[in-house]
Structure 1
Amino acid sequence: MSKSYDAIIVGAGHNGLVNACYLAKAGLSVLVIEKNDWVGGAATSRSHYPGFVYSNCSYVCSLLRPEIIRDLNLPRHGLQILPFEGGAVLTQDGDALASYRNHDAHRRELERFSLKDAEAYERYAADLIRQCRFIQPMLMRTPPDPTSFRPRDVSELLYIGKKLHDLTEREMCDMMRFWTMSISDFLDEYFETEVLKAKLSISGIIGTALGPMSPGTAYVLLHHYMGEVDGTIGAWGYARGGMGAITRALAQSLQSYGGEIRLNAGLDKFLVRGGRAVGVVLENGEEVRSRIVVSNMDAKRTFLKHVDEKELPDTFLKKVRNYKIRGSSGKLNIALDGLPTFRALPKGSPCIKGDLHFTDTVERMEQACDDWKAGKWSADPFIDLVIPTTVDPTMAPPGKHFMSCFVQYCPPKVEGRDWTDADRDAFAETVVSQIADYSDDFRSKILHMEVRTPREIEAEVGLTEGNIFQGELTFDQILFNRPIPGYAQYRAPISGLYMCGSSTHPGGGVMGAPGRNAAKEILIDLKRNTTVVSDAYAIL
């Protein structure tokens, strides 16, 4: 008979590992099961070409909460985040709008395009920081149920009410508008330079099936902006050794607390007896029992593929089916024989150490989304290009480089049919051709490419339709509406079954907050019923 555990976590992505670490740290016996033969989910580093390490899906780090890094001693387990310098948008006329970490250098660059915009940027940055200060404390808190009169929910609603009360009337109105407006409209209130608006629009469309002119994309920008590196809000960096360094550190942290990980252990279904989750059934037929089960999968995959429908209320199933998960992203990972040059960047420019983009107008970005709506990959795609080896030489042999290209927009199906290998290759050529338009020697330096459409992302990582956030970050699917109203507190309708993935509050990105928040709720429930974790809640 298989060993029984206090908790089984399904999926060794970063949120699943964070959840498992906190539960194991509290003294529970914990098992993480993972279908692949590696840990990490979308935050993984793998080698597909001799001497190179690829960050296969997620590729930059900022959102990982510093509280989690400290609580789980991740630097002790090898995690190091390397901030990058800045970046640039290369324009069709051969110029470039550069960005720098240095405030004065960044302002001078903006002044080169518009003195008015250089002044407006100070106001823009201050307004965004105010929005961040409002939302950041909520990232690590369980959303209240606004229909409940339980003391915890009432207390949390009062907390939010107090934060709103601390705002001026104008600030409150600005916040409500910001959360619901398009990133294009929001930026129009500050800036006149098209390339600057295009650059700042980027964070409003990354990972979402919306164009920059769609309502709700201003909040998506905020979601990306509220991370930090070394205490600098909004900064981004590379995990040394690739994004898998984050999940490797989490796995080592888990094992240091006595937790276990089983690879090549795919889930068949959750084991439910008498309306309660009591374990899992693996794809090989093995049953593993536990007191509780935690799903790191998205809401659709969790409840529509691995739970018998008869165990769930009809109204709940309907809401899960209507939960918006729309894949819109593709990825190219490229091994390069050397560092490519870009005509618009002078030799030695620090911008090449950051993120490079080629979409220099909001209109081009919107047209790229229009292609996605028609079921086609964008003919003129938006590309978020980084070369981590300019900062982290551990990912490639000396003199060689690794390039990561995150691409919008890439549909989950091509004009209604499944992707083919020929489609994948044509998509890759579209991306390569756009980069080659700005770099004369790029194509000749390509040694190997890994191409990932939503087909590959779903099959390998388990993200439905390849959606990197496990669901849209629109206003109807955040806070107490995530994933659906009434189930935003990490508990499923089945007793003993919990959710900890990015389908839950506060959403996607390599943040870890959903995993940590779910662990807090699990320990609260267990504390009511046992003395095993009588002191465990103190660690959270």
Structure 2
Amino acid sequence: MSEAQFQNRKAAKIEGGFDALVIGATADAFAAAALMARAGLHVVLIETGERAQDKKEIAPGYYAIPGDPIAFALDQAVVDGLDLYRCGLSFAARRLETFVRFGDGATLTTTGDPELIEEAVAALCEADAGAFSAFLAQERKTARALTDWFSGGAAPAAPGREMLAASIDDVLSGRFADRRLTDYLRAEASLGAPARASEPYSYLSLLRRLSGEIAGLQGGVAAIAGGGRGLANALRRAAQTAGVSIRQTDRVKSVIVEWDKVAGVSFDDGGQLRAPIIVSALGARETFIDFVGRARLDIEFARILDFASPPIGSCRAHLALSGPLGDPLVGADLSRRFLLALAAQPLESGFLAARRGEVRPGVAELVFPSSLDAALAPHGCLTATILLHPVPYFSPDDEPRRAQIEQLARDALRAIAPEMSAGVVAVDIEAPVRAAPTTYEAIERRRLITDASGLEGYYFCGPEALIGAGVSLSAGRRAAERALRYFRTGGAS
């Protein structure tokens, strides 16, 4: 050990007196920390990584807000428990309409309220309007019954399990005379999904999509003011209001384990924070293998962590547009959500190509953030944010792949708005996000990872605890609830 290292270790502090530590900077990390603090625990949140900017300039005068600009589900128990509306959470638009562009060029505009969809469907295919409305109502009822399961609660009753193993194509086959209605539901279910619509358990993706509640509406869509950063800022304020201490550092070296209980974290300079409860919002391998080590984990639990990540993912692109859009159908109301819904065969080909490492068209979800916040673009100009799925998972430094994704984003925008006259000034590509496992697999994996590590006081709300795409805050709430039960029953003493 060098003299400098020796002096650093001499200066390293060991701090105690804390009830719980939370590691990570995700929405679920802040939710877990704030909920525990509101319950009376002394909580320190170790914020890893650099704090993201609220917006990024992608061209002179054009700004993009990182992360997802819209939401399908926010755990109402977290929203109410943390009083997030008083902490700054607000919606730029509630009950967003969805404009669907089909592969053949036809369009469908759904209302913001799923209960009022019959009239919209009648404009596309009057013969199917009643059947589609009745089907969607039944699926929303089924999804509502599964909401607690999706958020980490008990599994549904046995009689429904076989149905849940079905594929989307099995459930939708022959149900409507107009196949484009099937294409629409397939596209909604496929966003962020790892499996093709023809594969088992893919039906659960549709139910997961319909189960979410946002701004008081089940199955709806809303735009959060400030996008993902707006939600993150509200959660940060909620945590600070509850008394959470926030420390920003990437120097966590390991989790301290004494006997079979966690006792704190150590840093690479020899410092320690001591607490009997730790909640990690980092990845499962980093949480358990890197911070704890296989030797201290249950053997079967360690094997669970050796799963292969899906080779596909989603990628979000931000585009700067020089002037009015020009497409009359799309441009009539830019404050809507836009969805590209391909037919079954092209979408299937897109999934297969992504698994082979090739880039082909798939589902695309488009919004125009500048229509909700005029400060994001120069006067008379636009910004567009488009989510592309599936794409091959790639390194953010892979320039040839980024060029392919940029072209895919341009093509998807043109497919949704074929009469677009605005020019594309710049395109900014976010790092890809891996597809979540199939919903059923994710639920089973979450149950094992969150309950079976064999370490008392160690809780998890990282990516592997999430179900489906998009933020919901349920993983953070469930981790906080387990930690509080442990604390109140004397396990932390």
Q: Find the aligned partners of 1:504 and 1:201 in 2 and give their Cα distance.
A: 24
Q: Which of 335, 344, 368 is 1:362 aligned to?
A: 344
Given the alignment of the two structures, is residue 34 of structure 1 paired with residue 47 of structure 2, yes or no? Answer: yes
Moved more, 379-388 or 516-525: 379-388
The match for 2:445 is: 482
Q: Find the aligned partners of 2:230 and 2:224 in 1 and give their Cα distance.
A: 6
Given the alignment of the two structures, is residue 119 of structure 1 paired with residue 101 of structure 2, yes or no? Answer: no
Given the alignment of the two structures, is residue 276 of structure 1 paired with residue 261 of structure 2, yes or no? Answer: yes
Given the alignment of the two structures, is residue 3 of structure 1 paired with residue 15 of structure 2, yes or no? Answer: yes
* Matched pairs, number: 478
Given the alignment of the two structures, is residue 296 of structure 1 paired with residue 288 of structure 2, yes or no? Answer: no
Query: Residue 240 of structure 1: CA displacement?
Result: 0.7
Q: Which of 360, 365, 371 is 1:384 aligned to?
A: 365
Higher strand share: 2
Where do 5+ consecutive residues of structure 2 fail to align?
1-12
The DSSP-based 3-state class of the residue aligned with 1:277 is strand
The match for 1:157 is: none
Q: Find the aligned partners of 1:98 and 1:28 in 2 and give their Cα distance.
A: 48
Q: Find the aligned partners of 1:370 and 1:323 in 2 and give their Cα distance.
A: 17
Structure 1 residues 284 and 244: alpha-carbon distance in aligned structure 2, compared to 1, 3 A threshold? farther
The match for 1:467 is: 434
Which digits, 9 at most, give the CA deviation of each residue in 1:288-316, with x for residues without a partner?
A: 32222111123233223333221112221
Q: Which of 406, 409, 412 is 1:428 aligned to?
A: 406
Query: Residue 137 of structure 1: CA displacement?
Result: 3.7
Structure 1 residues 323 and 93: alpha-carbon distance in aligned structure 2, compared to 1, 3 A threshold? closer
Q: Which of 255, 259, 284 is 2:244 aligned to?
A: 259
Q: Find the aligned partners of 2:149 and 2:51 in 1 and give their Cα distance.
A: 32
The DSSP-based 3-state class of the residue aligned with 1:410 is strand
Q: Find the aligned partners of 2:268 and 2:345 in 1 and give their Cα distance.
A: 47
Letter in 2 for 1:30: V
Query: Residue 109 of structure 1: CA displacement?
Result: 3.5
The DSSP-based 3-state class of the residue aligned with 2:86 is helix
Given the alignment of the two structures, is residue 221 of structure 1 paired with residue 202 of structure 2, yes or no? Answer: no
Query: Residue 11 of structure 1: CA displacement?
Result: 0.9
Structure 1 residues 104 and 311: alpha-carbon distance in aligned structure 2, compared to 1, 3 A threshold? closer
Q: Which of 488, 491, 513 is 2:474 aligned to?
A: 513
Letter in 1 for 2:429: V
Query: Residue 61 of structure 1: CA displacement?
Result: 1.3
Letter in 1 for 2:336: G
Q: CA RMSD in A?
A: 2.9
Q: Find the aligned partners of 2:470 and 2:331 in 1 and give their Cα distance.
A: 33
Given the alignment of the two structures, is residue 79 of structure 1 paired with residue 61 of structure 2, yes or no? Answer: no
Q: Find the aligned partners of 1:105 and 1:291 in 2 and give their Cα distance.
A: 51
Query: Residue 526 of structure 1: CA displacement?
Result: 0.8
Q: Find the aligned partners of 1:506 and 1:346 in 2 and give their Cα distance.
A: 32
Which digits, 9 at most, give the CA deviation of each residue in 1:197-238, with x for residues without a partner?
A: 111112322212111211111101111211223322111111
The DSSP-based 3-state class of the residue aligned with 1:207 is coil
Q: Find the aligned partners of 1:295 and 1:528 in 2 and give their Cα distance.
A: 21
Q: Is the 8 A contact 2:439 2:467 kept in 1?
A: no
1:240-259 matches, cutoff 5 A: 240-259=225-244
The match for 2:187 is: 202
Query: Residue 286 of structure 1: CA displacement?
Result: 4.0
Which digits, 9 at most, give the CA deviation of each residue in 1:142-161, with x for residues without a partner?
A: 447xxxxxxxxxxxxxxx55
Q: Find the aligned partners of 1:143 and 1:137 in 2 and give their Cα distance.
A: 7
The match for 1:338 is: 323
Q: Which of 368, 371, 374 is 2:353 aligned to?
A: 371
Q: Is the 8 A contact 1:277 1:497 kept in 2?
A: yes
Structure 1 residues 507 and 267: alpha-carbon distance in aligned structure 2, compared to 1, 3 A threshold? farther
Letter in 2 for 1:331: R
Which digits, 9 at most, give the CA deviation of each residue in 1:318-350, with x for residues without a partner?
A: 11112655542111122333342336x1652x4
Query: Residue 104 of structure 1: CA displacement?
Result: 9.2
Q: Is the 8 A contact 1:492 1:499 kept in 2?
A: no
Structure 1 residues 519 and 122: alpha-carbon distance in aligned structure 2, compared to 1, 3 A threshold? same
The DSSP-based 3-state class of the residue aligned with 1:482 is helix
The DSSP-based 3-state class of the residue aligned with 1:208 is coil
Structure 1 residues 119 and 54: alpha-carbon distance in aligned structure 2, compared to 1, 3 A threshold? same
Q: Which of 35, 46, 59 is 1:22 aligned to?
A: 35
The DSSP-based 3-state class of the residue aligned with 2:19 is strand
Letter in 2 for 1:358: L
Structure 1 residues 443 and 293: alpha-carbon distance in aligned structure 2, compared to 1, 3 A threshold? farther
The DSSP-based 3-state class of the residue aligned with 1:270 is strand
Q: Which of 82, 87, 91 is 2:102 aligned to?
A: 91
Structure 1 residues 103 and 126: alpha-carbon distance in aligned structure 2, compared to 1, 3 A threshold? closer
Which digits, 9 at most, give the CA deviation of each residue in 1:421-480, with x for residues without a partner?
A: 12211221122133235546758533332213xxx34xxxxxxxx325xx41332331xx
The match for 1:408 is: 389
The DSSP-based 3-state class of the residue aligned with 2:131 is helix
Identity of aligned residues (%): 20
Q: Find the aligned partners of 1:284 and 1:446 in 2 and give their Cα distance.
A: 48
Q: Is the 8 A contact 2:28 2:474 kept in 1?
A: yes
Which digits, 9 at most, give the CA deviation of each residue in 1:224-279, with x for residues without a partner?
A: 21122332211111111222111111110110111022224353332333333222
Q: Is the 8 A contact 2:311 2:355 kept in 1?
A: no
The DSSP-based 3-state class of the residue aligned with 1:18 is helix
1:146-185 matches, cutoff 5 A: 172=159, 175-185=160-170
The match for 2:3 is: none
Q: Find the aligned partners of 1:383 and 1:56 in 2 and give their Cα distance.
A: 17
1:300-339 matches, cutoff 5 A: 300-322=285-307, 325-339=310-324
Structure 1 residues 507 and 25: alpha-carbon distance in aligned structure 2, compared to 1, 3 A threshold? farther
Structure 1 residues 438 and 80: alpha-carbon distance in aligned structure 2, compared to 1, 3 A threshold? closer
Structure 1 residues 290 and 431: alpha-carbon distance in aligned structure 2, compared to 1, 3 A threshold? same
Q: Is the 8 A contact 1:327 1:467 kept in 2?
A: yes
Query: Residue 140 of structure 1: CA displacement?
Result: 5.4
Q: Find the aligned partners of 1:299 and 1:368 in 2 and give their Cα distance.
A: 29
The DSSP-based 3-state class of the residue aligned with 1:321 is coil
Query: Residue 369 of structure 1: CA displacement?
Result: 0.3
Q: Is the 8 A contact 1:78 1:249 kept in 2?
A: yes
TM-score (norm 1): 0.80
Letter in 2 for 1:510: V
Where do 5+ consecutive residues of structure 1 fail to align?
145-159, 165-171, 458-465, 533-540
Q: Find the aligned partners of 1:35 and 1:396 in 2 and give their Cα distance.
A: 31
Q: Find the aligned partners of 2:38 and 2:116 in 1 and give their Cα distance.
A: 45
Q: Is the 8 A contact 1:124 1:190 kept in 2?
A: no
